[in-house]
Amino acid sequence: MTTLSRRKFIHLLGATGGIAALGALASTLGSCSGKPGAGPRVVVVGGGFGGATCAKYLRRFNPSLQVTLVERDAHFVTCPFSNTVLAGLQDMDSIQHSYDTLRTQYGVEVLQDNVTAIDPATNRVSLQNGAELEYDRLVISPGIDFRWDEIEGLDETTSDTIPHAWKAGPQTITLRSQLEAMADGGVVIIAPPDNPFRCPPGPYERASLIANYLKTHKPRSKLLIADAKDKFSKQGLFMQAWEQLYPGMIEWVKGSDGGKIERVDAATRTLYPEIGDPVSADVINFIPPQKAGVVAHAAGLVNSDGWCPVDQRTFASTLQPNIHVIGDASIAGKMPKSGFAANSQAKVCAAAIVSELGGTTMPDPSYVNTCYSLVAPDYGISVAAVYRLQDGKIVKVEGSGGVSPMDVPDEYRRNEARYARGWYQSITQDAFG
């Protein structure tokens, strides 16, 4: 294996925040000797931003690895930019991505199937079609599942009436159809969950873009945010934009003032808050409390809080041997649960696995996250940060990144909207292209 010095690795990571550094690492580790696809076996479960990226970079870092990606669906539909579909700004095809390039260009074996069991004692993954996959290392990127039992009256069977649309795909179409069918003058409610949950700014971008649709097509309508929390990501920026773009249309109710919902009547589309009177709406987008995806629970990878504890340096599970957990399901220190964070973690995890299987030690990496939100088609805001390890925990690098400034010219917001689209093209190309 070609040697990459610790000094060079750390220099690359420090100079770029991790992403370009891992690209350079890919070209170096990619020169590992060995017959392509004849080395150790790595199985990756889940083909989202975490799993697809990890499978790709495992093969980039060491082409001799046998990498198999198991994913239930033939295509991945991204939650990022799904809010633009709800607002009628894009169609579903624009946020749908195939695994063809992973197969043809990177040599990843992609199996469309469901995982029915994972046996850490024998290093085997069982599939619904009856096949069993043996592995030397297993990567789980299961995303999130919902805590249906925490809200009375809300369960998976009610999601056609009260969609969550927090897993993009059919639910996105359901919510979009309900918005289109609503009469002008109707009321829309979005109910975001308490922390932690996937994509902290997502519900507020959704409120913004739905308001943009209503302003354009149904201007007498109102939108209420019944929030389980008392504060939210990029709050000042969102509220400033709402006052400017959608005056009188959006109302935010924080948890301690009656935003936290304890019961739902799906038949009448009525929400019952812990404080105050019931409230009804024509369309309700209820985003339930969350936990790690179901396969992580079945494999014994979760703690009492429903999330997966990991070695935050390598993303190796602290509960099961030879298994790594990345993305939304993992407990990753101060990193948010986001697509970009999963992409960053996937590269670090791939480097860790290649290093371990090659008998070398990976130096401490850096991690990054960038999140853009569209408040309108030509109005964007963002947050970004670089993270590092400190005493085994992922912490934010002080002074890195930051959020968009308040009170800037319109051109600044237009530029950030353009950057948001460029960001989406870049990350999807990196994961699936």
pLDDT tens track for 138-157: 999 999 999 999 999 999 99
Taking only the tens place, the pLDDT of each residue in 371-385 is 999 999 999 999 999
Domain boundary among 268, 288, 308: 288
Residues 152 and 249 both lie in one domain: yes
Q: Give the count of domains, the chain.
A: 2
**Distance between CA 71 and CA 180 in Å, rounded?**
32
**Residue 36's pLDDT band (cuts 50, 70, 90):** low
Q: pTM of this prediction? A: 0.92
Residues 263 and 216 both lie in one domain: yes
| Three-state secondary structure call for residue 60 | helix
**Whole-Å CA distances, 331 to 68, 85, 318, 334:** 24, 30, 11, 9
Q: Which pLDDT score is estimated for 11?
A: 36
Residues 70 and 39 both lie in one domain: yes
**Distance between CA 262 and CA 269 in Å, rounded?**
14
Domain boundary among 341, 363, 385: 363
Q: Is residue 177 part of a domain?
A: yes
- Bridge partners of 261, per DSSP, are 273
Domain boundary among 288, 317, 337: 288
**Whole-Å CA distances, 58 to 25, 247, 300, 370, 406:** 11, 49, 24, 23, 41
Helix, strand, coil abundance in the chain, percent, nearest 5:
35, 25, 40
**Span 125-134, average pLDDT:** 97
Share of the chain above pLDDT 70, in %: 91
Q: Which pLDDT score is estimated for 238?
A: 98
**Residue 5's pLDDT band (cuts 50, 70, 90):** very low
